[in-house]
Amino acid sequence: MAQSAITKQLDSVEEFERQPVPVGKLKSWKSFLGMYAGEHTAGTEFVIGPLFVAHGASANDIVWGLLLGNLLAVLSWAFLTGPIAVKERVTLYYLLEKISGKKLTTVYNLVNALMFCFLAGSMIAVSATAVGIPFGLTMPTLNDWLPNSVGWIVAVVAVGAVTTVVAMFGYNLVSKFANVASPWMILVFLASAVAVLPELGVHSLSEFWARANDTIWTGTPLEGQSQFTFWHIMFFAWFANMAMHIGMADLSILRYAKKWYYGFNSGAGMFVGHYMAWMASGILYALFLKETSFSTEFAPGPVAYRAAGIAGALTVIIAGWTTANPTIYRAGLALQAIRPKWKTWKVTLVVGLITTLASVFPALVMKLLDFVALYGLILMPMGAVIMMDEYIIPRLKLSQKYAETFNKSFNLAAAVAWGVTLLFSIWLNIVFGVEVFFLGLPGWFVAAALYVVTSYFIQKNKTKGGTE
Amino acid sequence: MRSLLKILSLIGLLATIIPSFLVFAGVITLDNNKLIMIFGTILWFATAPFWMNKKV
């Protein structure tokens, strides 16, 4: 009886995968504020901030690089994603299907879902470092790629299972959980950093900048880590969520917005989560390095526990959980777009299992910066395709939503834009040594130009309805 | 009842953040800060879900 009631509730989760969100279901700006603040004050912030320290970013790089990069990210959400989201009011996957056709969208969705699984996996792994504290879990190090103990696997599976069950109940529950946890979580980040400042030699505000330069963000990378500069920090902050803003994945979220400018609400996530929280976690890691004589152990749970006790460890668990939830939800949407008749909760369950499997590997955490940049880069070209289809294609007297208009299951122009852009990026990386953090910007222009030019040649001899 | 819950939630948040500044100022120890933060955490999660996300 109870089982059937739960199944009924899960089946009733309606997320408007293949229809515009009706007016009555639009959400207020508060909902997005909580969602963004919660989602971007996450478990991964406990990794990214410390990795900046490990990569030898200087205090100036951090303060100014993060400021400019996060500002560019907010503007990307507000002026690129928001207007298209409220105009179309459909998920990224459904819009892409209309433009690129069913076949190409299926490939995109599979890649997208896999990327989201890996990202959510890293968040679950971060949470597991806190779950393992009472059990004396052997924590992974910066050089670990494979699980180092059975205990690690058990901790990760436990966190993954809980995260998956919550995500199965849909966006509303995720949003409510993020709303409740978010204000507390943000304050714990701030509190834990403030409380340890005296142990880093900061006893007054006037001492902060000097210690920031000589003790926290020293400008010297740890052994085996590459050197980060202002440009690394700025581009990383801008493109950390490239898949979501420039890549348009957040069409799926912002389609619920009453106004396009709700995209500015992403500022809550950027300047709290990707500014304050990255700096705070960097401060905690600097203390850890100082106390352990630069140990290679890399475990956010114990680092937060050292600074804020049980509240700190709980923050790591909940921060990872809060972010993994919408990420698993997004991955579920991506897969469901391939088979719309599948129930949302069943798809989410499968996604959760893949995510949990991925999170067993600490490499996801240790190479998080590279992975985050790579995942944005891989998904970005389709965002450029959507932008061009929305604004440039009609100006050239070509037809928007090619696949839908011409009744096609494959849009060669979108495939060329996607594939060639990625090949171009690989070429830049291999031949010129351009790091993954910097490939997104030139890649976007290449994808946009390729889509417009190829669309022109494909469409110039066609008439609507699919005839030559 | 709703107002009382909100006040308790606010106390929970204040108990989470303020003690850290007292540690910074040298007024309390880091261990005391951790204890007060647990209190604030429990108070927040015991009260906030009952008024957040609820329509008036």
In this prediction, residues A281-300 reach a mean pLDDT of 89
d(CA A458, CA A364): 41
A407-443 confidence digits (pLDDT tens): 999 999 999 999 999 999 999 999 999 999 999 999 9
Does B27 reach chain A within 8 Å, measured CB to CB? no
Which segment of A56-65, A316-325, B40-49 scores lowest on mean pLDDT?
A316-325
Express each pLDDT in A240-253 by its tens digit: 999 999 999 899 88
Interface of A with B (CB under 8 A): 175-176, 179-180, 183-184, 187-188, 190-192, 194-199, 202-203, 307-312, 314
Residue B56: is its pLDDT beyond 50?
no
* CA distance linking residue A260 with residue A164, whole number of Å: 31
Residues A368-406: tens digit of each pLDDT: 999 999 999 999 999 999 999 999 999 999 999 999 999
**Higher-confidence position of A169 and A229:** A229
Asked if the C-beta of B49 comes within 8 angstroms of chain A's C-beta atoms, the answer is: yes
Can you give the pLDDT at residue A249? 87
Q: Do A184 and B48 touch (CB under 8 A)?
A: yes
> Searching chain B, which residue's CA lies closest to the CA of residue A304?
B34
Residue A5 predicted with pLDDT over 80: no
In a domain, residue B55? The reply is no
For residue B29, which residues of chain A lie inside 8 Å, CB to CB? none
Please report, as a single letter, which amino acid is at residue B40. G
Residues of B in contact with A206 (CB under 8 A): none
State whether B53 and A180 contact (CB < 8 Å). Answer: yes
Q: What is the amino acid identity at position A347?
A: V
Does the residue B56 lie in any domain? no
Cβ neighbours of A280 in B, within 8 Å: none
**Burial class of residue A198 in the structure, from the number of CB atoms within 10 Å of its CB (0-12 exposed, 13-18 middle, 19+ buried):** middle
DSSP assigned state of A271? I
User: What is the domain extent for residue B31?
Assistant: 2-50
Q: Is residue B37 part of a domain?
A: yes
Whether residue B42 lies within 8 A of chain A, CB to CB, comes out as no
CB count within 10 Å of CB A380 equals 28
Q: What is the mean pLDDT of residues A73-80?
A: 97
Q: What's the rounded mean pLDDT across residues A321-338?
A: 78
Tell me, yes or no, whether B28 lies in a domain: yes
Return the closest-CA partner of residue A36 out of A308, A263, A329, A363.
A263
Q: What confidence tens digit (pLDDT) does each residue in A142-188 have?
A: 888 898 889 899 999 998 998 888 778 765 666 677 778 888 999 99
Do B24 and A310 lie within an 8 Å CB cutoff? Answer: no
At which residue do the structure tokens 């647990």 appear?
A: B38
Which whole number is the average pLDDT over A452-458?
A: 95
Angle at which helices A300-336 and B30-47 cross, to 10°: 30
Higher pLDDT, A55 or A115: A55
The partner residue sitting opposite B17, judged by closest CB among A180, A191, A198, is A191
Question: Which of A229-233, A331-335, A420-424 bottoms out in mean pLDDT, i.e. has the lowest?
Answer: A331-335
Residue type, A382: M
Q: Name which of A174, A182, A194, A196 to mutate to probe chain B: the one with the most chain B Cβ atoms within 10 A of its Cβ.
A: A194
Look at residues A140, A201, A178, A147 and name the one whose alpha carbon lies nearest to residue A327.
Answer: A178
Q: Which of A391, A413, A392 is nearest to A402 (CA)?
A: A413
Cα A388 to Cα A449: distance, rounded to the nearest angstrom: 9
Residues A312 and A50: their CA atoms lie apart, in Å, by 16
| pLDDT for the residue numbered A450 | 97
Q: Structural domain boundaries of chain A?
A: 2-379
Residues of B in contact with A192 (CB under 8 A): 20
Mutation to test the B interface, candidates A28, A184, A189, most B Cβ within 10 Å: A184
* Residues 6+ away with beta carbon under 8 Å from B56: none
**A119 band by pLDDT with thresholds 50, 70 and 90:** confident
| DSSP symbols for A305-365 | HHHHHHHHHHHHHHHHHHHHHHHHHHHHHHHHTTSTTS-HHHHHHHHHHHHHHHHT-THHH
A309: phi > 0 → left, psi -120 to 50 → alpha, else beta; which?
Answer: left
pLDDT over 90 for what percent of chain A? 55
Task: Report the C-alpha gap between A446 and A451 in whole angstroms.
Answer: 9
* Nearby residues of A34 by Cβ (< 8 Å), 6 or more positions away: A175, A178, A179, A182
Q: What is the pLDDT of residue A6?
A: 47
CA B36, CA A23: separation in Å to the nearest integer? 45
The total domain count for chain B is 1
- A198 vs B24: CB contact, 8 Å cut-off? yes
CB A124, CB A100: distance < 8 Å: no
ipTM more than 0.90? yes
The mean of the pLDDT values for chain A is: 88
CATH architecture of residue range(s) A2-379 = Orthogonal Bundle (1.10)
Chain A's closest residue to B39, CA to CA, is A311
**Confidence check: pLDDT of A135 > 50:** yes
Task: Find the angle CA(A276)-CA(A66)-CA(A263) to the nearest 5 degrees.
Answer: 80
What tokens appear for A19 in the block? 């229809």
State the pLDDT confidence band at A91, using cuts at 50, 70 and 90: confident
